[in-house]
Structure 1
Amino acid sequence: MITKRACIYPKDIQRITGRSERYCRKLINIIKEYLDKEPHQFITVKDFAIYSGIEEEIINKYLID
C-alpha cells in the first residue's frame, strides 16, 4: 500500500499554483480562517481541495514524499 502525506505545505501549494512561497504561506492562513482551524492545526489535502476547488486526485499528483 502506497501512503501519501495527509498534510499540505506551502511548497506543495507553490508547485500546484505556480505562486510564490510567501503567497502560499499567506494562503494557508486564509484557509485556516475559512475552515475555522486553530493556528497550530495542519491543512490537509481535503481542506485545500475544498477551498481551492481543485480535485484531490490532481493535488495528490503534485505531492512528493
Structure 2
Amino acid sequence: MSNLKRLCIYPKDIMCITGRSERYSRQLFKKIKAHFGKEAHQVVTFKEFSEYTGIEEDIINQYI
C-alpha cells in the first residue's frame, strides 16, 4: 500500500515545484483547468500539469 501515489496535483504542490507564491499557484491551477476544459469539481493530473508547464513528469514526481 505504501507505493501508491496520488494522481492529482494541488496548488500547494505547484508552490513547491515552482517556488512561487500561493496566489500565483492558484492562478496557474485555474489556467490549467481552463486550458483542458475542466469543471470546478474535476481534478488536474500530474500529466496535465506537465503538458501545460513543459516540466517533465519525472521531475514533478521527485517533489511529491
- TM-score between both structures, scaled by the size of structure 1: 0.91
- Listed as ranges, the gaps of 5+ residues in structure 2 are none
Measure, in 2, the Cα distance between the counterparts of 1:6 and 1:40. 15
Letter paired with 2:31:
I
Aligned position for 1:61: 62
- For 1:11, what is the secondary structure of its paired residue? helix
State percent identity of aligned pairs. Answer: 60
* Equivalent residues, number: 63
Paired residue secondary structure (2:8)? coil
Counterpart secondary structure, 2:62: helix
Q: Following the alignment from structure 2 to structure 1, what is the Cα–Cα distance between the partners of residues 11 and 31?
A: 12
TM-score in terms of structure 2 length: 0.92
The equivalent residue for 2:35 is: 34
Q: Once the 2 structures are TM-superposed, how far is the Cα of residue 56 of structure 1 from its aligned partner?
A: 0.5
- Deviation track 1:1-40 (CA, whole Å, cap 9, x = no partner) reads 7111111011111011010011101111100110111111
Secondary structure of 2:5's aligned partner: coil
1:23 alignment counterpart: 24
RMSD: 1.0
Matches of 2:40 and 2:52 in 1, distance apart?
Answer: 17
Partner of 1:44: 45
Which residue is equivalent to 1:11?
12
* Segments of 4+ moved more than 4 angstroms: none
